[in-house]
Amino acid sequence: MQMPPGKPQWWHQILPKSVLIKIALPIIIIISWEVLSVLIDNPFILPSIESVLLVLSEPFADILGSGSLVGNALVSLSRVLIGFIIAAGLAIPLGIGMARNGKVHDFFDATLQVFRPIPPLAWVPLALAWFRIGLLSMVFIIAIGAFFPILLNTLDGVKSIKKTWTEAAHTLGAKERQVLVNVVLPGAAPTIWTGLRVGFGIAWMCVVAAEMMPGTNSGIGYLIITSYNWGQVQVIIAGIIIIGVIGLGIDYLFKIVERKKFMWRELDR
Amino acid sequence: MTLILKNIGKEFEQRDIRSPALVSINLEVEEKEFTCVLGPSGCGKTTLLRIIAGLEKPTSGKVIIGGEIVSGPTSRMVMIFQDYSLFPWRTVIDNIAFGLEMKGIGKEERQKKAVHYLDLVGLSGFEENFPYELSGGMRQRVAVARALAIDPSVLLMDEPFGALDAQTRNMLQRQLLEIWDKTKKTVLFVTHSVDEAVFMADRIIVLTSRPGTIKEVVTIDLPRPRDRTSQDFATVRRYVLSLIDEPQSIQ
């Protein structure tokens, strides 16, 4: 049944419908959380919102002798960055090579297809066996996680380059290497960027998991698992929120660059 | 610089079956001549142009420009494509300067030259725009400026106005003739439009349908600018049309 268009309700003046629909679910979750925490009345299962906010309100305070939220997050970020840069440094050249040269493609493709479906975390025991606990094994897992999305998007991006772009460049006198730098790379850049964005997202998930490996002594993943051992569920939740916020923030940065630099991809039709 | 095609043939291989696309094309194009290659779709006229540009190898025969055999893309001949093929991440001015940049010419000089050619195609003021901000006709003019900027002897144009509406097309035809008159380039222009060929060309090379071979070379000595509605134009047009429409007797 259709409602007659009546006078807008007074609350629409403060909160337009378009905003209301977006914040409705978060509000429902927060209210249910608070209600449930009162009903359950057990901070080891579901702490109150206030206790989580209390942890979040002091992001630089030491927690259980394991460092602060911010400090551990920065440690995790630096690990991700190392693994991510290694992955990008391998995947982008390899992707370009495979997309441009059939022999390079055939040489690597079958092997990569076998490795691709293996979840990065399945490598954890092997990483421990090979590299022991420490930066190296974490970077290894992060790099594996970020590698495939970057590789596949690079392949895709280079393959999607219009043939006439490279041909036009050739007839305008560009040498093979110049075509690569001035046409292939910029032409594939938007798709490669998407790969980097997805790859970073996965790398960020991997670091948290990698930091839960036994023997680790820093990082946001370590902080969470330690808090679990101490029964500090409010710290676990605060840590999870920090992970989410950082992941979201980095994704947003990627999107801003995408919008500024690669607008032509959407508009060039 | 004279362009000579000697016995050009091209075969394509499909599932081990060789099928000829072009058969024994012999042609000599004089310097500063405006030549149209006309033929039904699928006759291999684009393939012929790509062979001349060095983008494809002929199965037999050779292309000679200024006494040298063409073995790959050469900056003496620049190809202009139907889809403009501008680089969408570059501004108009940087698109035009592309060839100069590849040659290693300094920024100041290439900007100056690019501005000159942008002016020549009548697009002054669009330096900092991106290709996606321009209409199809304007994009093709940028592509022409980009080709002219490296000062080639020959412009190879592959149905350059094929994707444009009739009005824009007529305007660009006139404009291209003006530019041709000013720059005195040799132009090899592929089209399937009889009207376009008769309006533009000194000579029309009429190809047969696949496998393409030269059916007839029609010299057009109507004075320019040509009047599409004149009796003479209609007569030539009708004659060329009859060549295209005739039932083919190949083999």
Find, in chain A, the residue whose alpha carbon is nearest to that of B97: A172
Give chain B positions within 8 Å (CB) of A264. 88-89, 130-132
Opening angle at CA B223, ends B219 and B226, nearest 5 = 100
Exposed / middle / buried, residue A91 (Cβ in 10 Å: 0-12, 13-18, 19+): buried
| Alpha-carbon torsion angle B27, B29, B34, B40, nearest 10 | 10
Q: Report the distance separating Cα A167 and Cα B84, nearest Å.
A: 11
d(CA A216, CA B117): 64
Asked if A162 and B85 come within 8 Å (Cβ–Cβ), the reply is: yes
Q: d(Cα B236, Cα A178) in Å, to the nearest integer?
A: 46
- For residues A230 and A87, the answer to whether their CB atoms sit within 8 Å is no
Residue B251's pLDDT band, with cuts at 50, 70 and 90, is very low
Print burial letters for B109-123: b (CB count within 10 Å at least 16), e (below 16): ebbebbbebbebbeb
**Per-residue confidence (pLDDT) for residue B250, from 0 to 100:** 47
Task: Tell me which residue has tokens 């039932």.
Answer: B247
Residue B99: predicted pLDDT: 94
Q: What is the DSSP string of A166-213?
A: HHHHHHTT--HHHHIIIIIHHHHHHHHHHHHHHHHHHHHHHHHHHTTS
pLDDT in tens, A206-257: 998 899 888 889 999 999 999 999 999 999 999 999 999 999 999 999 999 9
Whole-number pLDDT of residue A6? 59
> Which DSSP state fits A120?
G
Residue B248: its pLDDT value, please? 52
E-strand spans in chain B?
A: 3-14, 17-29, 34-38, 60-65, 68-69, 77-80, 154-158, 186-191, 203-207, 214-219
Q: Do A173 and B54 touch (CB under 8 A)?
A: no
Buried b (16+ CB within 10 A) or exposed e, B164-180: beeebbbebbebbbebb
B186 - beta bridge partners? B154
Do A268 and B83 lie within an 8 Å CB cutoff? no
Contact yes or no for B55 and A171 at CB 8 A: yes
Distance CA B91, CA B133 (A): 10
- How far is B26 from chain A, CA to nearest CA, in Å? 23
The residues, ordered by sequence, that sit 6+ positions from B63 with a Cβ below 8 Å of its Cβ are: B3, B4, B5, B6, B8, B51, B52, B54, B69, B70
Reported ipTM: 0.89
pLDDT in tens, chain A (269 residues): 555 555 666 767 777 788 888 899 999 999 999 999 999 989 888 999 999 999 999 999 898 888 999 999 999 999 999 999 999 999 999 999 999 999 999 999 999 999 999 999 899 999 989 998 889 999 999 999 999 999 999 999 999 999 999 999 999 999 999 999 999 999 999 999 999 999 999 999 999 889 988 888 999 999 999 999 999 999 999 999 999 999 999 999 999 999 988 988 877 76
pLDDT for the residue B27: 92
Interface check for B209 against chain A (CB to CB < 8 A): the answer is no
The pLDDT score that the predictor gives to residue A16 is: 79
User: Alpha-carbon distance A215 to B114, whole Å?
Assistant: 63
- Among A236, A209, A206, A222, smallest CA distance to A72 is for A222
* pLDDT value, residue B211: 86
Of B247, B202, B196, the residue nearest B221 (C-alpha)? B202
User: What's the predicted TM-score (pTM) here?
Assistant: 0.85
